[in-house]
Copies of this chain bind each other. A is one copy, B any other.
Amino acid sequence: MVTIYDIAKECNCSSATVSKVFNNVGNISENKRREVLAAAQRMGYVPNVTARNLVKRRSNMVGVLLYVDESLGLRHELFAEILNRFRTEMEKSGYEILLISEKADQWEGKLLDHCRALRLDGVFCLCCDYEAAAVQELLTSEIPVVGFESPYPKKPSIESKNFEAGRRLTEYLIQNGHREIVFIAGKDVPITRDRIAGYRAALDENGIPFEEGRLLHAGYYSNDHGRNATQMLLNCGKSFTAVMYPDDFTAIAAYRDLAAAGLYVGKNISVTGFDGVSIGSMVSPRLTTIRQDAACIGVRAAELLIGLIDGSGIKEGMERLDFTLVPGESVYRLD
């Protein structure tokens, strides 16, 4: 591998001069500049970022924390898309993206040290278990971190306006004549509570009494394709004409199970999802859902992280992003 010393020798100058040329610093005569650049080109010089990073004491690399899971993490289009936008945004600022697995048990408090050892400039907690000790250690460390749907308020984080989303979706159902609305909520995390609060607010605002029995609890993106969720629904002992599922996949999977019980989505049962994954508009009936703005989330996460790294941005606080209600055919008008 050719180094700046090789080039220096070739150009009868010092390595310092060569270095300056590549970094556009100091005053280098246009002649020397050209000469060095030409030599570098000719000799096939490739800078060694490792060496540069060592002296600069930074890696120009940010980590993205992601579950290793059968049904979650990258496999979910929402996260994949957020990551997509995040990385293109980070790349614009010259950062590399390193994948970090959250293998909760294996880290044993080593997650933070791992990030430190790599001298990561920052970390984006995209999809992780915020309850895990290793993750909390990271969140409370000196490392710049931004989170998605993070419950930790001392670092910048992003999420959709889940309260409003829950309310908007419920309202939409009510506007379509539904009053017996079951909400199958996801895992009990802050965003879920927000959505539930929104659901209740909408009921309240429309004079519909909240029934404990119509609020069910399931997981998100359950491995059983939401079968349990639907099972719970059918056994809930309450009448209902509409069901809000915790996420699109669970909702779509429910089409089948509901039909098996004589409930035909969009005909005699209304169903909604959450997230707005692309498959929702491909299936029949098209799924009515809340589309989270993945692009915006990814970009904003990048902006926040960069701001945090260079100290120019906000230091903490939650930022709630807008969403879109996507009307589909899975909600029928009940008159």
Contacts and interface: CB of A to CB of B under 8 A. Distances in A.
A73 interface: yes
A326 to B, nearest CB: 15
Contacts of A103: 88
Contacts of A282: 225, 249, 252-253, 255-256
A208 interface: no
B101 A98 contact: no
B101 A91 contact: yes
Nearest to A68: B88
B116 A46 contact: yes
A-side binding surface: helix, strand, loop or mixed? Answer: helix
A47 B117 contact: yes
Given A74-B74, A282-B253, A59 B68 contact: no
B84 A96 contact: no
Contacts of A281: 225
Interface string A110-142: 000100111100000000000000000000000
Top 10 A-B pairs, shortest CB-CB distance: A253-B282, A74-B80, A97-B99, A46-B116, A75-B80, A256-B284, A50-B54, A50-B53, A49-B117, A46-B117
13 contacts: A48-B119, A49-B119, A50-B53, A68-B84, A74-B83, A75-B84, A80-B80, A96-B118, A98-B98, A225-B281, A225-B282, A256-B282, A256-B284
